[in-house]
């Protein structure tokens, strides 16, 4: 066995393609061979190129990793690898020996090599070693050989990689595979530093982001971990994974990963829902994201008027909502199709043989699947009802709006879709203002109107359920059925409750009865345990009370000068950004905010709420003329940071999101002018804005000699 770090580093040559695709790495029932082949077809159609085979419940992938595959199992894998090649998808076989391997035992290493050699004979050319979700304590024998857990993993990985002939694609999953696992932090993690320094450069490293299931993955976080790992990571993305909660399904778009990440990554693999067919949206939108080009020269125009509900900082190259609509439009065609792709792959020993080169070859035979129950012919009925008889039931066709609603109800781990958020807000308002339902006040009309609106939304969910239940493609329906039944039940209870509040009929039995039917309450022992715990509900995505303030961000106009001065003066008076009594050089931002200097064209925004202007963001694309009389501040201006930005927001704005959006739009406009970077001047006493710029993540403190102690300069490149 090689000692830690003893393997020679080989220089990397050529440009390798961006890894993009799917990892089957969840806990639970693995996908069938038929479903995997159908996945390869989708990947080829959508421009993805990789499949990582890592199902946690394949015994011989993880628990019994030493065992070789039987003849029947080998036949299946040969067929699967051949199918991937036929669709130009790179099949990566992953093995996870970390549960019980003794790294220092040569027999263990030999068993690992023997297993991968067998898979190589099947036609596989790409491999992965996974050391995720395992104990970090080494056995006594390993402690005598290796100085750390990281050294042990790196040594065996390098040795296996070289034994296999240094494959072009070889992935390594560290035990600390996200920032949350790194002690004390990513830059200071001795484990990651060892991996980065000792792992051969041809081996790529998997990374899930800030957390196991990362809400957002920023460019800065990837640059940070890449510096430690000494290579760009491959993202193993769990944003659509649902194996940790059987009541959740995720049908929202791939989002909160800026397209600027693409050139900074080796690749992205999504580890999606356990259910195969609902992953259409997750994989389709990932494919759209992967096609986005992070062209920093793209100009982003400042939009007029308030942002759309649920809108975020704009990515000039990728729109999650547009990607979602595109995916749902394509998915609708599959729902309505009775010609279901895939088909059962029949594998027999007569189909597999060794060629003259000694490699296994496979001839594929595809048959109709017998996995689904019989579907009867839905031809026109010969029965014609009479004039006084019930009309024949006619199933309404599923619509794109139905699928948009479905996606909104089962969106993403950290957020509900727009319609779901609206329904929660309306129910919360109706419940808290229930006294207005039967009163003779002006509020009564509003309550009744909003109750009707809520009822219409609930009815839309029921109609969606009915149309989904009658969709021709039953395979998709069967994967969705438990989830849509559950949401239909929950919506039905809420609908009945609102009707009761409004005095429409007697209280619903399932709501008020001491002995309700089982479907009238959330069952299961796990649910009862959770309801008994003090923290139950504190991670609900819908917070109480809901945020109802609406902010409008628009371009600054000359008539706004007085109001901007008012905001600036008020913040000075309250001490935020106020100059100290001791003499200090004036700041350009003071003159800009006070109206003594005019902002550059298209580089000024104001933010309004119901009470009026409550914030602003102003900029000079070239701050040199304004700094001509200020030698200290003049030192800040360089080719790297030629532009200046200043911003203030009144304390009544407690939600940071609108201010972040305003700064994001302003920076986009500055970038479109050709500027390479911006800086801002802040006083030490302005803790609120110092904290705001720091939490943006992209602004960093600039060290300038001679700068007064009271002044802080921060900048960022564009």
Rounded (to 5) percent helix, strand, coil in the chain: 40, 15, 45
Residue 268, beta-bridge partner list = 20, 235
Residues contacting residue 398 through CB under 8 Å, at least 6 positions apart: 332, 335, 336, 467, 468, 470, 471
Residue entry with tokens 């709420």: 609
Q: Is 332 helix (H, G, I), strand (E, B) or coil?
A: helix
Residue entry with tokens 């034994």: 163
Cβ of 147: how many Cβ atoms within 10 Å?
Answer: 10
Residues contacting residue 288 through CB under 8 Å, at least 6 positions apart: 254, 318, 323, 326, 327
Q: What is the rounded distance in angstroms from the CA atom of residue 683 to the CA atom of residue 709? A: 9
Largest CA distance in the chain: 96
Please, what sign has the CA dihedral across residues 153, 156, 162, 166? Answer: negative
* Cis ω before 170 (30° cut-off from 0): no
Q: Which of 100, 133, 442, 456 is catalytic?
A: 133
> Beta strands of 142-211 (E only): which ranges?
170-173, 204-207
Structure tokens at 481: 């059925």
CA-angle at 548, arms to 612 and 608, nearest 5°: 20
Cβ of 534: how many Cβ atoms within 10 Å?
Answer: 6
Q: Is 344 helix (H, G, I), strand (E, B) or coil?
A: strand
Residues contacting residue 702 through CB under 8 Å, at least 6 positions apart: 636, 641, 679, 713, 714, 715
Residues 50/19, Cβ–Cβ less than 8 Å = yes
SS (H, E, C) 281-293: HHHHHHHHHHHCC
Pairing mode, strands 360-362 and 50-53: unpaired
Structure tokens at 531: 């309801």
Pairing mode, strands 700-701 and 677-683: unpaired
Q: What is the rounded distance in angstroms from the CA atom of residue 689 to the CA atom of residue 710? A: 14
Taking alpha carbons only, the member of 563, 519, 551 closest to residue 657 is 551
Q: What is the rounded distance in angstroms from the CA atom of residue 28 to the CA atom of residue 505? A: 45
Residues 126/93, Cβ–Cβ less than 8 Å = yes
Cβ of 267: how many Cβ atoms within 10 Å?
Answer: 23
Backbone angles phi, psi at 354, to 5 degrees: -95, 130
Q: Is 133 a catalytic residue?
A: yes
Residues contacting residue 548 through CB under 8 Å, at least 6 positions apart: 425
- Positions annotated as catalytic residues are 133
């Amino acid at each position: 066995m090689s000692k830690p770090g003893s393997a020679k580093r080989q220089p990397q040559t050529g440009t390798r393609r961006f890894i993009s695709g799917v990892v089957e790495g969840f806990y639970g029932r693995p996908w069938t061979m038929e479903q995997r082949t159908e996945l390869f077809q989708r990947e080829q159609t959508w421009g993805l190129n990789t499949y990582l085979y890592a199902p946690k419940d394949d015994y011989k992938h993880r628990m019994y990793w030493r065992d070789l595959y039987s003849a029947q199992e080998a036949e299946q894998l040969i067929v699967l690898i051949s199918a991937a090649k036929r669709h130009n998808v790179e099949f990566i076989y992953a093995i996870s020996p970390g549960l019980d391997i003794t790294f220092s035992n040569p027999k263990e290493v030999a068993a690992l090599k023997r297993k991968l050699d067998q898979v190589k004979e099947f036609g596989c050319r790409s491999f992965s070693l996974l050391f995720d979700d395992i104990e970090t304590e080494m056995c006594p024998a390993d402690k005598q050989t290796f100085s750390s857990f990281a050294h042990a993993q790196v040594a065996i990985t390098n040795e296996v990689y070289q034994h296999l002939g240094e494959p072009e694609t070889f992935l390594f999953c560290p035990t600390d595979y996200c920032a949350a696992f790194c002690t004390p932090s990513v830059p200071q993690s001795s484990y990651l530093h060892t991996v980065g320094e000792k792992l051969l450069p041809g081996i790529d490293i998997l990374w899930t982001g800030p957390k196991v299931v990362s809400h957002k993955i920023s460019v800065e976080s990837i640059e940070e971990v890449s510096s430690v790992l000494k290579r760009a990571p491959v993202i193993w993305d769990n944003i659509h994974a649902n194996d940790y909660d059987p009541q959740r399904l995720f049908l929202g778009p791939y989002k909160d990963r800026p397209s600027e990440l693409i050139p900074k990554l080796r690749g992205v693999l999504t580890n999606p829902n356990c259910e195969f067919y609902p992953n259409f949206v997750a994989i389709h939108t990932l494919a759209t994201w992967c096609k986005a080009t992070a062209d920093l020269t793209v100009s982003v125009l400042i939009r007029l008027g308030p942002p759309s509900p649920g809108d975020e900082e704009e990515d000039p190259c990728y729109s999650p909502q547009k990607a979602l609509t595109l995916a749902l439009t394509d998915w609708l065609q599959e729902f309505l199709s009775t010609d279901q792709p895939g088909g059962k792959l029949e594998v027999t020993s007569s189909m597999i043989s060794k060629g003259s080169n000694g490699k296994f070859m496979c001839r594929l035979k595809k048959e109709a699947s017998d996995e689904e129950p019989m579907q009867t012919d839905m031809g026109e009925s010969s029965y014609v009802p009479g004039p006084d008889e019930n009309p024949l039931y006619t199933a309404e066709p599923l619509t794109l709006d139905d699928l948009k609603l479905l996606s909104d109800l089962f969106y993403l781990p950290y957020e509900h879709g727009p319609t779901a958020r609206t329904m929660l807000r309306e129910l919360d308002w109706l419940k808290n203002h229930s006294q207005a339902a039967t009163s003779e006040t002006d509020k009564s009309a509003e309550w009744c109107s909003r109750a009707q609106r809520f009822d219409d939304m609930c009815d839309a969910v029921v109609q969606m359920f009915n149309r989904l239940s009658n969709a021709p493609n039953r395979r998709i329906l069967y994967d969705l059925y438990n989830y849509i039944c559950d949401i239909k039940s929950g919506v039905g209870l809420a609908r009945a409750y609102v009707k009761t509040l409004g005095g429409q009929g007697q209280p619903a039995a399932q709501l008020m009865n001491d002995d309700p039917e089982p479907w009238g309450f959330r069952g299961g022992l796990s649910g009862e345990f959770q309801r008994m715990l003090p923290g139950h509900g504190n991670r609900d995505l819908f917070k109480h009370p809901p945020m109802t303030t609406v902010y409008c961000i628009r371009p600054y106009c000359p008539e706004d000068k007085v109001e901007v001065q008012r905001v600036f003066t008020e913040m000075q008076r309250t001490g935020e950004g106020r100059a100290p009594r001791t003499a200090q050089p004036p700041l350009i931002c003071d003159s800009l905010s006070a109206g003594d200097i005019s902002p550059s064209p298209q580089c000024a925004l104001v933010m309004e709420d119901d009470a009026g202007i409550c914030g602003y963001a102003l900029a000079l694309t070239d701050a040199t003329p304004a700094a001509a009389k200020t030698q200290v501040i003049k030192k800040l201006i360089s080719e790297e940071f030629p532009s200046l930005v200043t911003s203030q927001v009144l304390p009544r704005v407690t939600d940071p999101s609108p201010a972040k959006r305003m700064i994001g739009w302003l920076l986009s406009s500055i970038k479109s002018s050709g500027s390479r970077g911006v800086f801002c001047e802040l006083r030490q006493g302005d803790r609120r804005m110092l904290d705001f710029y720091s939490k943006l993540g992209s602004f960093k403190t600039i060290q300038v000699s001679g700068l007064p102690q009271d002044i802080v300069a921060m900048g960022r490149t564009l």
